[in-house]
A and B are shown apart, each in its own frame.
Chain A
Amino acid sequence: MPMKKIFSKPASLKDAPFHYCPGCGHSIAHRLLCEAFDELDIRGIAIGVPPAGCAVLAYNYLDVDMIESAHGRGPAVATGIKRMLPDRVVFSYQGDGDLAAIGIAESFHAANRGENISVFFINNAVYGMTGGQMAPTTTMGQRTTTSPLGRSKELEGHPVQVCELFSHLRGTTYIERCAVNTPANILKTKKAILKSLQYQIDKRGFTLVEILSPCPTNWKMSPVEACKWISDVMTKEFPLGVMKDIPSAQQKKGVDAHEQ
């Protein structure tokens, strides 16, 4: 019997080879997004906003319409696009320097307004593109080029937990934190991305998926060690899981009420 092809490149991913370092999580996140576009069949109506950072060239890889925004202002630009073209699927793809540092105001207020957009937040705990400086999400004790003795509470403060912070806003609908360090976590991340885009299509409101992503180059580790470091250290600071999921909670409540 001839063998069937069961895994290959998604159609929404262009043929260009990735410019990312070996073992980078950005390319895994790109692939998952493209798989989600194919499965929901929204390649023709999706509009993305790439960040400033390593993924600034995301439009070279994702075969959907994309428009670059100023550093950190992705959710503000996505808000404008979504309000003018409400039938499109609008997403913003951001790194931790983009969303949690320079763009925290725009992201926070877009979430607070409950804009009907999806935000994909790649958290790799450092500023990757500029050479591994400390980011707001750098974990306690982590050594970076600007915290050479390790991040300390007194000098740099605690890391910003974006998911926990945003889940307290009444405008947000669905917040989940995932990782792309093991095949099991990658499949969970894909489910979260699908859910987020589906909620947007159903007009449920603001959704955010945080993706813990390895950065072996700036963590000064091998790719395999970097994936292990996410499990051992990073998930202690940033626990994985669903922080908020109003539609599924409502559905569950509805089922319970029906049963009674």
Chain B
Amino acid sequence: MKGYIEIKKEICKECHLCISVCNRDCIVPSTEYNLKGYHPVSFNDNGKCNGCSLCAIICPEVAIEVYRD
């Protein structure tokens, strides 16, 4: 099963909870800035994302949308 996520970079607050729950290293920190001054996380498209939604469930900002086939 394949999936991917979309991260709304402007509302991410860099809490990294999504990174802590992803078992497949599909989310990585980034060095870019958003308007609030946080470094939003970014999707690491390594082909391993299966759309399990754990990151979206724990994201406090509801910044992640999950797609799955």
A residues lining the B interface (CB < 8 Å):
1-9, 13, 17-18, 20-28, 31, 182-183, 186-187, 216, 222-224, 227
Contacts and interface: CB of A to CB of B under 8 A. Distances in A.
25 contacts: A2-B69, A3-B67, A3-B68, A4-B68, A5-B65, A5-B67, A6-B66, A7-B57, A8-B66, A13-B62, A17-B11, A18-B60, A18-B61, A28-B60, A182-B21, A186-B57, A186-B58, A187-B57, A223-B15, A223-B16, A224-B15, A224-B17, A224-B20, A227-B17, A227-B20
Contacts of B53: 6-7
B7 interface: no
B60 A183 contact: no
Given A23-B15, A223-B16, A224-B20, A7 B60 contact: no
B58 A182 contact: yes
Interface of B: 2-4, 10-11, 13-17, 20-21, 38, 51, 53-54, 56-58, 60-62, 64-69
Contacts of A216: 15
Contact of A7 (B15, B20, B64): B64
Given A3-B68, A24-B60, A183-B21, 9 more contacts: A3-B51, A3-B69, A7-B53, A7-B56, A13-B62, A22-B14, A27-B61, A216-B15, A224-B16
Contacts of B51: 3, 6
B58 A183 contact: yes
Contacts of A26: 60
Contact of B3 (A3, A27, A183): A3
B65 A4 contact: no
Contacts of B21: 182-183
B60 to A, nearest CB: 4
B24 to A, nearest CB: 14
Contacts of A25: 60
A7 B4 contact: no
Given A22-B14, A223-B17, A224-B16, A4 B67 contact: yes
Contacts of B16: 222-224
A217 to B, nearest CB: 11
B52 to A, nearest CB: 9
